[in-house]
Amino acid sequence: MSQETPPKVHQTSQTSFTSNAVLYDKARPSYIPSSVDALVKMLRLQKGDNVLDLACGTGIFTRTIMDRGFDLTAAEPSPGMIKAFSARTPEIPIHAAGAHNLPFPDESFDAVTIAQAFHWFADEESLIEIARVLKPNGRLGLIWNLEKTGISPFADEYFHAVVAHDEGLPQYRKNEWMPVLKNTKVFQVPYEEYLEDYFLSYTPEQLWDRTQSKSFITSLSAEEQGKLRKQLDHLVAKYPETPKDSEGKLICPQFVRVIALQKA
């Protein structure tokens, strides 16, 4: 494993994802197979292609493509995430590196994938560095698992209670990453896109684990976390009509977004 010191890593993501890596790996959902298939197709990937999974975290996404015949390499700036990744996925080499300073030669990869993370480092500088390590006509693939609003009153109210704590942080929902992609000079635009709705089922305890795995919740005080946990229990009682699965778990609407861009 490379030991480069990654520059320009957001402090909240660096600190929180180091401290909550085990919970993150346990609580965060994987990616539905149809969305992974869509990303692989959009990236025009073939067996034997060199793929960098950047900001790989604990390897939740990496594991969805590791048996598809690609030559995989991972990069991640958080020490806690690297430790969790290596424990779960020791066969994939991982480098301690962030998106702004990749320790790879020019034109090393056929594709770079970024799951659940681009919003943390969305700027032209990172895209220039990613384009540098891509081969001519190489592709960048982005994928996010997200909570969907506008369907479940319970899920909507809980979502807004949670994100009330993310002020000042670069989060997907704020769309600050979008103009970066639309105005980039190093990738072709417009980009390809794929969206799919689906549902996940949670006990209140499982939903709370997922909530705690969010960086901005991890950084809250124990008192603030306790208040939010009580709010979850209150909302479960407030909305007894919330749909449940055969095991009595709360059915929560989700969606996945996939974006692919070709190097200019």
Q: Kindly report, residue by residue over 3-36, the tens digit of the pLDDT.
A: 343 445 555 544 545 567 889 999 999 999 999 9
Residue 215 banded pLDDT, cuts 50, 70, 90: confident
| pLDDT of amino acid 17 | 55
- Contact predicate 81/53, CB 8 Å: no
Percent of the chain with pLDDT over 90: 85
CA–chain centroid gap for 195, Å, is 15
Q: In the chain, what are the domain boundaries?
A: 11-146+169-197+254-262
| Beta-ladder partners of 114 | 54, 142
* Helix (DSSP H) and strand (DSSP E) numbers for the chain: 11, 7
The CA distance from 43 to 81, in Å, is 26
Identify residue 89 by its one-letter amino acid code: T
> Which pTM does this prediction carry?
0.91
Mean pLDDT of 215-231: 93
The mean-pLDDT minimum among 24-28, 88-92, 113-117 falls in 24-28
pLDDT of 71 strictly over 70: yes
Q: Which residue has the tokens 């006990």?
A: 203
Q: What is the pLDDT of residue 21?
A: 87
Distance CA 60, CA 96 (A): 17
Report which secondary-structure segment, H or E, holds 137.
strand 134-147
**Residues 6+ positions from 37 with CB-CB distance below 8 Å:** none
Q: Which CATH number fits domain 11-146+169-197+254-262: 3.30.420.10, 3.40.50.150, 3.20.20.100, 3.30.460.10?
A: 3.40.50.150
